Amino acid sequence: MIHLKDADGIASIKAAGRILRAALNAAGQAAEIGVSTNDLDEIVRSVIENAGARPAFKGYQGFPGNSCISVNEAVVHGIPSDSVLADGDIVSIDIGVFKSGYYADACETFTVGTVSENVLHLLDVTKTSLAKGIEQFKVGNRLGDISHAVQVYAEAHGFSVVRDLVGHGIGRALHEDPQVPNFGPPGMGPLLRPGMVLAIEPMINEGTDEVRTLADDWTVVTADGKASAHFEHTVALTDEGPVILTI
Ligand code: MG
């Protein structure tokens, strides 16, 4: 069941999203050669807690970090650790914030030092595919129009769309209905209505779309070891169109 949010609910998610953005910007700026993913996670924790909010992923189904930090071939759900970033790495920092009864969720992939041309292109395409999806989040469209727009853009540039992981509704729960795939035919699925709030989050791979989970039971990596990028926003649909709440 899709829970529609009123203006107060959307404002509360936006307040969580503002804190999230500050944490994401701070961690992203710190993502440099020689910095550990634990260091980045600590920045995320401190920014969120100092703002009077809670890192939503901490303890979620037992997750040990404050944020998910996924390097290179890691797609999502990487556990922060003492391993340090190296020249040419990419690092996806995925953050959830809980504040005043509501959640926000967003992710960005950052570069470390000098990254290969193809991986830079992957990041650019993934970020733009998210924008293409958000453009379709409008009254009268169906959910599949979002999914289709992401897929078409990513595949047109020679990259592949992860099938095993999808976006989601968000609000009083971190994960609500509906699921938001990054692939599929247009014109299908629920009608998009004002008050819907979605975490739209393309995960786009340099090589195969196939993924597997590491022995830590969390980290999802590409099956071929090639790079993966992940950009996510929490977005509300209003009468005036989509409003990004994590910008
Ligand atoms: Mg999410």
pLDDT tens-place string over residues 26-76: 999 999 999 999 999 999 999 999 999 999 999 999 999 999 999 999 999
85 DSSP 8-state letter: P
Ligand 1: centre distance to CA 106 (Å): 6
Q: Give the side-chain half-sphere CA count within 13 A for 169.
A: 19
Compute the radius of gyration of the chain from its Cα atoms. 17
Confidence of residue 154 (pLDDT cuts 50, 70, 90): very high
In a domain, 210, yes or no: yes
Dump strand ranges (E) for the chain.
Answer: 54-55, 68-71, 74-76, 90-99, 102-111, 160-161, 167-169, 176-180, 197-200, 203-205, 211-213, 220-222, 228-230, 233-238, 241-244
Q: How many residues does the chain have?
A: 247
Alpha-carbon gap, residue 198 to 68, rounded angstroms: 19
By three-state DSSP, how is residue 144 classified? helix
* pLDDT tens sequence across 112-148: 999 999 999 999 999 999 999 999 999 999 999 999 9
At residue 61, φ and ψ (nearest 5 deg) are: 50, 30
Ligand 1: centre distance to CA 112 (Å): 23
Ligand 1: centre distance to CA 178 (Å): 12
In a domain, 133, yes or no: yes
Ligand 1: centre distance to CA 232 (Å): 7
Ligand 1: centre distance to CA 71 (Å): 17
In a domain, 2, yes or no: no
On whether the CB atoms of residues 172 and 2 are closer than 8 A, the answer is no
In a domain, 233, yes or no: yes
Beta strands 74-76 and 203-205 are: unpaired
Sole residue written with tokens 């970033």? 85
pLDDT of 201 reads 98
Ligand 1: centre distance to CA 182 (Å): 12
Q: Percentage of the chain with pLDDT > 70?
A: 100
Ligand 1: centre distance to CA 238 (Å): 20
Ligand 1: centre distance to CA 199 (Å): 5
pLDDT of 11 reads 98
Ligand 1: centre distance to CA 246 (Å): 12
Count of domains in the chain? 1
Mean pLDDT of 237-244: 97
Ligand 1: centre distance to CA 21 (Å): 14
In a domain, 36, yes or no: yes
pLDDT of 246 reads 98
Ligand 1: centre distance to CA 92 (Å): 12
Read off the CATH number of the domain in which 90 is found.
3.90.230.10
In a domain, 58, yes or no: yes
Q: Which domain holds residue 107?
A: 7-244
Distances (CA, A) of 69 to 3, 106, 176: 29, 12, 23
Ligand 1: centre distance to CA 50 (Å): 23
* pLDDT tens sequence across 68-97: 999 999 999 999 999 999 999 999 999 999
Alpha-carbon gap, residue 187 to 132, rounded angstroms: 15
In a domain, 111, yes or no: yes
Supply the pTM of this predicted model.
Answer: 0.98
Burial of 90 (0-12, 13-18, 19+ CB in 10 A): buried
220: which strand partners?
A: 76, 213
Confidence of residue 8 (pLDDT cuts 50, 70, 90): very high
In a domain, 126, yes or no: yes
Structure tokens at 101: 């009864």
Burial of 104 (0-12, 13-18, 19+ CB in 10 A): buried
By three-state DSSP, how is residue 162 classified? coil
